[in-house]
């Protein structure tokens, strides 16, 4: 019986099993091969090369470098994953070792669950909630700044006690939609608490100062440049539409928002003021864009003004 147990314990680990384990979770195949130190470093390299490196590229890289850096991060992450699979397969073939008592299917299943939970809840979920998150535009309310089919990163370090970003006029802010709190909207922050907003025709005034420039006609659209401090953005109106005069005073702890496509948007003119607490992020950069004619390569990497 002792001889049979020894024979069973000496059964070489199968290379295919090791490769499949690393496919499921980088480092798990190395653990199957008995290389605990290598397993830990492989998993850490994979984890840190993904979300954290992507965050650094998104938040701190110059606009022109964001897209290539994100591509490099994706390739690095996939490379570490592929190298883990190949390494586990080769080690299992080259150095068969006896299977130890703790190396059972239940342990691998537990580690697989814990590892993926750490990756998702510890990294991806945390990054989305507090650092950077991707959104897309399903409508044209912020055109021409954002077009239908744009995918963009939003800086979530915004509008909180210890956050770097403070709410300013002109921000392209993402907020919880007041009429359906399961949705997020993105609009231009025009008025801060206490501001007096006036719309006289197509001219926009904030605290008595006109922020709209001269009107220009482009096809069937009227284009206006609006400015707040050193920031400037483009606004479009329909040429045939009549714009009624209106005035608002922004209450405490709230903001007034408008879409850049003023005739095809729902904004504070329809759903009212947005509580400051519902502003969750500031749009930063377009990372992908697609339209009826395919990928809009010229928009990838554009900074959102």
Residues 293, 235 within the same domain: yes
| Per-residue pLDDT, 6 | 43
Ranking 91-95, 141-145, 238-242 by mean pLDDT, the lowest is: 238-242
Last residue of a domain, one of 79, 99, 130: 130
Query: Is 305 within a domain?
Result: no
Residues 171, 99 within the same domain: no
Q: For residues 172 and 121, which has the higher predicted lDDT (pLDDT)?
A: 172
User: Please, what is the average pLDDT of the chain?
Assistant: 82
| Per-residue pLDDT, 7 | 34
| Per-residue pLDDT, 101 | 58
pLDDT classification of 196: cutoffs 50, 70, 90: very high
Helix or strand (DSSP H, E) at 114: helix 105-117
Tens of pLDDT, residue by residue over 229-267, are: 888 999 998 877 777 889 999 999 999 999 999 988 899
How many independent structural domains does the chain possess? 2
- CB–CB of 110/136 below 8 Å? no
Residues 146, 293 within the same domain: yes
Task: Decide the pairing of beta strands 279-291 and 274-275.
Answer: unpaired
pLDDT classification of 24: cutoffs 50, 70, 90: confident
Q: Which residue(s) pair with 227 in the sheet?
A: 232
Task: Decide the pairing of beta strands 172-176 and 150-155.
Answer: unpaired
Query: Is 280 within a domain?
Result: yes
Q: For residues 38 and 54, which has the higher predicted lDDT (pLDDT)?
A: 38
Residues 147, 272 within the same domain: yes
Query: Is 304 within a domain?
Result: no
Distance CA 91, CA 17 (A): 12
Residues 139, 97 within the same domain: no
What the block records as the tokens of 124 is: 């991806």
Residues 159, 287 within the same domain: yes
Residue 97 has pLDDT above 90, yes or no: no
Query: Is 246 within a domain?
Result: yes
Residues 85, 179 within the same domain: no
Query: Is 284 within a domain?
Result: yes
Could you tell me the CA-to-CA distances from 245 to 145, 213, 240, 273 in Å, in that order? 25, 17, 16, 18
Residue 119 has pLDDT above 80, yes or no: no
Last residue of a domain, one of 81, 114, 130: 130
- CB–CB of 66/58 below 8 Å? yes
Query: Is 204 within a domain?
Result: yes
Domain region containing 248: 132-299
Query: Is 153 within a domain?
Result: yes
Residues 117, 138 within the same domain: no
pLDDT classification of 275: cutoffs 50, 70, 90: very high
pLDDT classification of 206: cutoffs 50, 70, 90: very high
Q: Could you give phi then psi for residue 62, rounded to 5 degrees?
A: -60, 155
| Per-residue pLDDT, 115 | 61
Residue 90 has pLDDT above 60, yes or no: yes
Residues 105, 140 within the same domain: no
Query: Is 291 within a domain?
Result: yes
| Per-residue pLDDT, 105 | 61
Residues 212, 96 within the same domain: no
Alpha carbon 55 to its chain's center: 9
Residues 120, 268 within the same domain: no
Considering only the C-alpha atoms of the chain, give the largest distance between any 2 of them, rounded to a whole number of Å.
95
Distance CA 186, CA 200 (A): 24
| Per-residue pLDDT, 290 | 93
Residue 86 has pLDDT above 60, yes or no: yes
Residue 166 has pLDDT above 50, yes or no: yes
What percentage of residues in the chain have a pLDDT greater than 70?
Answer: 78
Last residue of a domain, one of 130, 165, 191: 130
CATH of the domain at 277: 2.10.109.10
Residues 121, 172 within the same domain: no
Plot region of 219 (φ>0 → left; ψ -120 to 50 → alpha; else → beta): left
């Amino acid at each position: 019986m002792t001889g049979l147990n020894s024979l069973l314990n000496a059964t070489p680990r199968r290379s295919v099993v090791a490769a499949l384990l690393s496919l499921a979770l980088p480092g798990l195949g190395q653990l199957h091969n008995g290389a605990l130190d290598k397993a830990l470093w492989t998993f850490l390299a994979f984890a840190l090369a993904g979300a954290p490196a992507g965050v650094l590229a998104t938040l701190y890289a110059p606009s022109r470098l964001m897209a290539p850096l994100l591509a490099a991060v994706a390739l690095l992450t996939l490379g570490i994953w592929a190298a883990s699979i190949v390494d586990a397969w080769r080690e299992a073939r080259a150095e068969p070792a006896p299977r130890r008592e703790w190396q059972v299917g239940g342990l691998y299943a537990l580690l697989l669950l814990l590892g993926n939970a750490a990756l998702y809840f510890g990294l991806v979920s945390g990054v989305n909630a507090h650092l950077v998150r991707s959104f897309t535009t399903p409508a044209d309310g912020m055109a021409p700044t954002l077009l239908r089919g744009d995918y963009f990163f939003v800086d979530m370090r915004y509008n909180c006690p210890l956050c770097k970003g403070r709410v300013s006029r002109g921000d392209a802010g993402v907020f919880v939609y007041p009429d359906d709190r399961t949705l997020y909207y993105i609009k231009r922050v025009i008025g801060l608490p206490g501001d007096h907003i006036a719309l006289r025709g197509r001219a926009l005034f904030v605290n008595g100062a006109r922020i709209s420039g001269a009107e220009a006609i482009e096809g069937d659209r009227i284009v206006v440049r609006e400015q707040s401090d050193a920031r400037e953005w483009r606004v479009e109106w329909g040429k045939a539409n009549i714009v009624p005069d209106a005035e608002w005073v922004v209450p405490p702890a709230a903001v007034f928002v408008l879409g850049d496509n003023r005739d095809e948007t729902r904004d504070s003119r329809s759903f009212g003021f947005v509580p400051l607490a519902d502003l969750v992020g500031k749009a930063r950069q377009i990372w992908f864009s697609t339209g009826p004619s395919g990928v809009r390569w010229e928009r990838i990497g554009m900074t959102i003004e």
